[in-house]
Each structure stands twice: as C-alpha cells, then as structure tokens.
Structure 1
Amino acid sequence: MRADRLVSLVLLLRRRGRMTAAALASELEVSVRTVLRDIEALSTAGVPVYADRGRHGGFTLLPGFHTELTGLNHEEALALVTAVSGGSQKVFGLSSALASAMRKVIDALPEGHRVAMDDAAERFLVEPGADLLSRRSPSEDIATSVMSQVRHAVLTGHRLRFEYSAPDQAPRVHTVDPLGLVTVRGRTYLLASKSGEDRTYRVSRMVDAEALPEPAERSASIDLERSWIERSARFLSADHLAVVVRVAPWRQEELLDMARAVRAEEPEADGWVRLDVTFEDLRHAVWAIWQLDTGAEVLAPDALRSALHGRATALAARYEDPRAGPP
C-alpha cells in the first residue's frame, strides 16, 4: 500500500508541479504527517523532491521517472478522462483507486497527449451534482467499511453477513451468498442468494457488513445483466401495492428513493410528474407519501387516498384551535 502511495505522490508532483503537504494529504487521503514521512522516504531513495519554503512554498519534483504508453491513442485516452469526469469514480467505493490509476495512465502518455487530456478534463463535465433547475442529483451514503467488505465478499466468493435496515422496519441480520454488484440511477444493489432463493439488497441500507471465512455457494460464473433483468421482472410482478401519484419535480427523487419499483413515468403540463410506482403494502405507502407533504398527490388507489385523508383530518383536528402564542 505504501509503495503504491509513493508512486501516486510522485505522479501528483509531476502533473501539478508545486503542491503543499496539506494538498497532497487531501489528494492521497492520508495525514500531513504521513505525507512528510513519504517525502523523506522518496528523498532517501534518490527521488529529487525539493521543499520550497515560504508563504507560497510546497514540494516540487524534477521531471522524469515515467514511461510512455505509446499504444494508447488520443480517442482512447479521451474516453478514459471522460469516464472519470462522470459519476463512475464513486461506484463501488473505488474512487481513490480510480484516481490513482488515472494519474498513472495520464503520466505515462506522450507529452502531446498529456496536454490534450488536461484541456479535455477542463472542458468535459458528465453528470454534475445538479441540473439546470438546481435539483440535486441523487446520492447514496455508503460507509467505506461496508462497501469494502461487500466488495471483498463478492470478488473472493465468500459469504457475507450484514445488518440491514429496510424502510419502516427494524434492522435485521442477514447471511447471504453474494453474486454481484449492480449500480442503477446512482444506487448500488447487492445481488445474492439466501438459502437457495434470490435476494436483492440496497447497499446503502446496510448498517455494517462482514465477509465471512466460509466460501459462498454459487456458480463459477454469472450473467449479471440477465440476472438483473429477471429479478426486475419478478419484482414488478410480485404482490405489492400499485400506486398512481403526481409528484412535484423537487420531490421526485425522494419518492423514487422510498418506492419499491417504478412501472411508468410521464411528465404533466404543469411541470409535475405522473408516476406508477409500487410499495410494500398500504402502511409503507402511507408512510412514504406522508413524507412528501404537499409535494405529491395520490390518484389511486382509493384506499390509500382514504388513509392519507384520515391521517390529515386527525392532524388538522388536533391543531384546529391553536393555542395562543407568547405575549
């Protein structure tokens, strides 16, 4: 791990010139103290790293220590830079590894390619954090330790134990045989089997996870795309509550995050969106729609409209005679 970090440090200085210890620490995701130790190790090994003192000081590196990837053409290099400029660097918790890999690839390009890639990185932006209406893109909060254990279990073929917190349910512990990871619309899912039956889990709902020593019971290969399509079809045909709802655009992602599945989506003339979604049951639907306040309107089924009306009526009655405020 340290050797890889030392290479990344050298590549950062080669590409960016002078950098402070704090900037290097942030880029490498280590402490300033670790960076200073690494700088000392590089100097001892004969790598020409120099410290510039003063207000605008930092560390600099003389040119050198690289080989060229002469087989990588301009379009191939551009494809790599474009991919990294999007959301792919966050997928499966591999952001640090991808950033390190791209530093090595770009450093090894011929000089003319490096200049072109620097310009492309400034002029291409894929999937920014918000659209033109300032709506934030959906994002997941997955603990690094959880993602690391899930990824390890998937790749090494070991069983996985985790605590899972589904919406409006008490957390439960599951032990599964992991098959693969799928990311859709910014959400990451674990495809697994449990006691021989297919299971699918949102990784962001895992409270903790541990790859176990025993091997998983699974085939040596898998067609992950086909498996995902089959599971999606089964899920949509399952006995869940189908709901038709109008939702304000600024509440749409919140609704999609709480729904079990989306069957259809259609924009309406007033800017709202009409969605056909499914929920686990009536209780789950009432809980989810209630979170959206006046940003959503249920059109069907009538049972859900009645349940929401009853809750709203009870709440309105409680506050019908508001108490006098402070004098």
Structure 2
Amino acid sequence: MRADRLVSLVLLLRQRGRLTAGTLARELEVSTRTVLRDIEALSAAGVPVYAERGRHGGFALLPGFRTELTGLNQDEALALSTASSGRGEQAFGLGTALTSALRKVVDALPEPHQATASDAARRFLVEPDTDLLSRPSVTEEVPATAMTEVRRAVLAGHRLRIRYAATDQTPRWRTVDPVGLVTVRDRGYLLALRAGADRTYRLSRVLAAEELPEPAQRPDAVDLDRLWRERCARFLSGDHIAVLVRVRAERREDLLNSVVALRGAESDTEGWVRLEVTFQDLRHAEWALWQLATDAEALAPASLRCALRDRAATLVGRYAQS
C-alpha cells in the first residue's frame, strides 16, 4: 500500500507542480506527518523532490523528471472497469483505487495531451451529492475493511463469513459462498449461495466480514446479469402489492425513487404517464403516493384508493373546523 501511495505522490507532483504537504495529505487521504515521511523516502531513493519555503512554498520535482510509474495494480484495473457503472467504485469500496488509476492513465498520455485531459476532467461532473432541488444523494455506507474482505473472497473464489444485520433481526454470523457483486441505484448487493440455496445480501447490512481459506462451492462460470434478473423476478413474486398509477411526467422519478420495482410504463394524457409499479405493502404505497399530493392518482387497487380517500377526508375535516 505504501508503494502505491509513493507512486501517487510522484504523479501528483508531476501533473500539478508544487503542492503543500496539507494538499498532498488530503489527496492521498493520509496525515501530513505521513506525507513528510514519504517525501524523505522518495529523496533517499533518488527521486528529485525538493522543498520551497515561504508563504507559497511546498514540494516539487526537478523540471524534466520522468519515470515509468504507470503500471496498474489489480484493484486499479478493477476500478476502471466498474467506473462506467455509475457509482460502482463507491459501492464496492474502490474509490481510492480509481483515483490512483486515473492519475496513472493521465501520466501515461503524451505531454501535450495531459493538460487537455486534466481540463476535460474538470468539465464533467457525474452524480453530484445533491440534485437541483438540493436533495442529497444517499449512497449506502459499507465498512471499508468488510468491503475489502467481501471483494477479495468474490474474486479469489473463497468462502466468506459475514456478520449480517437482516431486517428486524439480531446481527449474526453466516458462512456463504460468494458468487458476485451487483450495484443498483447506489445500493450494493452480494449474490451468494448458502448451503446450496440462492441468497442475496444487502452490502450496507454487512457489519463485518472475513475471507476464509477454503474454496467457495459455486459454479465456475456465471452470467451475473441473468442471475440478477432471475433473483429480481423471485423477489417480486413475493408478498408485495402491484399498483397502477398515473403521475405527472415531471414527478415520475420522484415516484420511482420510492417503489420496489417498475413493471410497465406508457403515456397517458398530455403531461402525464401511467405506471405499473410494485410497493412493499399497502401502507408503503399509501405513504409514497401521499407525498405526491395532486401530482399522482392511484387507479388500482381499490383498497389503495379508499385508503387515500379516507386520509384526505380526515385532513379536510380537521381544517374545516377552523
């Protein structure tokens, strides 16, 4: 890990010029003291790092210094391969590896193109923390050490022990055979087998994990996309409620953010769309549609329409008294 950090430190100085110890510490996610020790190690190894004193001082490399530091390690290559899938690098704990890998990619470019690439990166912003309505994006957190163990077991094909907190249950340890990792709308899942039966675990509920030495009992080849579709179909066939609803087009995503699944969609009258969606239960559906007020209408089932009507009548009665 320290070797990768030293490489990243050199690449930062090559690409951005003089940087303070504080800036380097923030970029590398370490303490200032660690940065100073790394600078000393680079100097001792013959890398021409020098310090500039004063208000605008910092550390820099001698002009013209260049060395081959662009080899990607396994995590960095994996991070690049998942970067196109939205926030996959965050869901699988690969954010730091992705940052390091991209530094190496930029450094491998011919010098005339490095500035262009750096400027281009500043022109794109993917999935900011909030949307135009200042609503924060919620990315589920997974302990870094647990995520590392899960990822290693999946890639190595080893069995895995996880301390899992299922809904309304006391957390307990389970031994599983990991099959693959999936991220959907900022939620990560571990697909696994337990005693030969299919299991799907929410990564945010994995409190701790331990990769075991014995090999996992799983198929040698896997079609993860097909497997995910099959598990989704089984999940939706459980005890859920299907709802037919019409919603204003501009509120469509607000509704979909609260549903379990979208089963169908078609245009309705101008400015409206008709959706067939699935909720956990009647109470969940009532809550979600109530948030949209007059921008949505439940068309079926009748029990949901009655529940919304009764809630609205109660509200009307309360305010009519004044």
Give the TM-score category using the shorter length.
0.7 to 0.9
Give 1:308-323 correspondences, 5 Å limit.
308-310=308-310
Contact 1:85 1:121 in 2 (8 A): no
- 1:24, distance to aligned residue in structure 2 (A): 1.0
Task: Give the share of equivalent positions with the same residue, in percent.
Answer: 57
Could you tell me which runs of 5 or more consecutive residues in structure 2 were left unpaired when the two chains were aligned.
71-79
Give 1:174 deviation, angstroms: 6.5
* Aligned equivalents of 1:194, 1:215: Cα separation in 2: 14
Q: Are the aligned partners of 1:160 and 1:178 in contact in 2 as well (CA < 8 Å)? A: no
Change (3 A) 1:85 1:287: closer
User: Does 1:278 find its partner at 2:278?
Assistant: yes
Contact 1:244 1:301 in 2 (8 A): yes
> For residues 287 and 211 of structure 1, what CA distance do their matches in structure 2 show?
39
Task: Report if the CA contact (8 A) 1:161-1:210 is conserved.
Answer: yes
**AA at the equivalent of 1:64:** F
- Cα shift at 1:240: 2.5
Aligned to 2:256: 256
Letter in 2 for 1:11: L
For 1:41 and 1:296, how far apart are their aligned partners in 2? 63
Indicate if the aligned counterparts of 1:245 and 1:298 stay in contact, CA closer than 8 A. Answer: yes
Is 2:146 the partner of 1:161?
no
Partners of 1:203 and 1:50 in 2: CA distance? 44
State the secondary structure of the residue aligned to 2:217. coil
1:207–1:309 Cα change, 3 Å: farther
**For residue 65 of structure 1, what is the amino acid of its counterpart?**
R
Alpha-carbon separation, structure 2, partners of 1:298 and 1:171: 37
8 A contact 2:244–2:276 mirrored in 1? yes
1:141 aligns with 2:143: no
| Residue of structure 1 equivalent to 2:17 | 17
What is the alpha-carbon distance in structure 2 between the residues aligned to residue 85 and residue 259 of structure 1? 21
Q: After TM superposition, list the pairs within 5 Å mapping 1:182-193 onto structure 2.
A: 182-193=182-193
Please say if residues 159 and 215 of structure 1, whose CA atoms lie closer than 8 Å, have aligned partners that are also in contact: no
SS at match of 1:189: strand
Given residue 197 of structure 2, which amino acid in structure 1 is its aligned partner? E
User: Root-mean-square deviation (CA), in Å?
Assistant: 3.6
In structure 2, the CA distance between the partners of 1:152 and 1:316, relative to structure 1 (3 Å rule), is: farther
Aligned-pair CA distance for 1:16: 0.4
Matched-pair contact (CA < 8 Å) for 1:135–1:250: no
Query: Which one-letter code corresponds to 1:141 in the other structure?
Result: E
**Which residue does the alignment assign to 1:55?**
55
For residues 136-188 of structure 1, the C-alpha deviation after alignment (integer angstroms, 9 at most, x for no partner) is 6854222242433332332232224232354xx45654633221012233332
Amino acid of the structure 1 residue aligned with 2:188: T
Segments of 5+ residues of structure 1 without an aligned counterpart are 70-79, 323-327
Q: Is 30-39 or 243-252 further displaced after alignment?
A: 243-252
**TM-superposed deviation, 1:236:** 3.9
Residue aligning to 1:107: 107
Residue 265 (structure 1) aligns with = 265
Question: For the Cα contact (< 8 Å) 2:48–2:65, is it kept in 1?
Answer: no
Q: Following the alignment from structure 1 to structure 2, what is the Cα–Cα distance between the partners of residues 89 and 197? A: 28
Aligned partners of 2:137 and 2:321: how far apart in 1?
40
Instruction: Report 1:296-307 matches (<5 A).
Output: 296-307=296-307
Query: What's the secondary structure of 2:218's corresponding residue?
Result: coil
Displacement of 1:125: 4.6
Determine helix, strand or coil for the equivalent of 1:59. strand
Letter of the structure 2 residue corresponding to residue 142 of structure 1: E
Cα distance 1:91–1:250, how it changes in 2: closer, same or farther (>3 A)? farther
Q: How is 1:195-214 mapped onto 2 (pairs within 5 angstroms)? A: 195-204=195-204, 206=205, 208-213=207-212
- What letter is aligned with 1:21? A
